């Protein structure tokens, strides 16, 4: 299995080296989607990340959406692992999208992941 920079950071945040080999135990039922997203992040250049950040800051009700994504991740994998996933992400947009993916099975729509589409 290829390990992304974010996946490595996730494992390092709380000394969870087991998470590198058994991510399903830490990232919940959508772990494959999360790992694929993290691999995708490794392919993005600085200019693209800036564009995503610009999109992020133009979202309406960003505080409410951010809290929703955090809560769904926390409810899915617990506080410790949600915190590790949030802090492993390089930007706020990445962290919010990661949290959405973790709990996507409990959401009606995704607000942050679309920021990474059509770049």
CB 99 within 8 A of CB 85: yes
What local confidence, expressed as pLDDT, does residue 15 receive?
82
Which of 8 and 17 is assigned the larger pLDDT? Answer: 8
pLDDT bucket at 5, cuts 50 / 70 / 90: very high
Residue 11 within any structural domain of the chain = no
Please count the structural domains in the chain: 1
Residue 2 within any structural domain of the chain = no
What local confidence, expressed as pLDDT, does residue 7 receive?
96
CA triple 53-17-44, angle to 5 deg:
25
pTM for the model: 0.93
Nearest Cα neighbor of 34 from 47, 62, 26, 15 is 26
Residue-range definition of the domain harbouring residue 106: 31-37+51-119
Residue 74 within any structural domain of the chain = yes
Residue 17 within any structural domain of the chain = no
What local confidence, expressed as pLDDT, does residue 14 receive?
76
Residue 67 within any structural domain of the chain = yes
pLDDT bucket at 1, cuts 50 / 70 / 90: confident
């Amino acid at each position: 299995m290829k390990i992304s920079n974010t996946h490595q950071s996730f494992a390092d945040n709380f000394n969870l080296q087991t998470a590198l080999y058994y991510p399903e135990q830490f990232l919940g039922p959508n772990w494959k989607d999360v790992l694929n997203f993290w691999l995708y992040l490794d392919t993005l250049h600085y200019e693209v990340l800036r564009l995503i950040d610009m999109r992020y800051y133009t979202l309406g009700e960003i505080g409410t959406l951010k809290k929703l994504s955090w809560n769904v991740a926390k409810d899915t994998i617990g506080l410790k692992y949600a915190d590790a996933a949030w802090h492993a992400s390089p930007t706020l947009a990445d962290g919010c999208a990661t949290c959405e993916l973790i709990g996507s099975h409990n959401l009606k729509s995704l607000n942050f992941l679309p920021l990474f589409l059509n770049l």
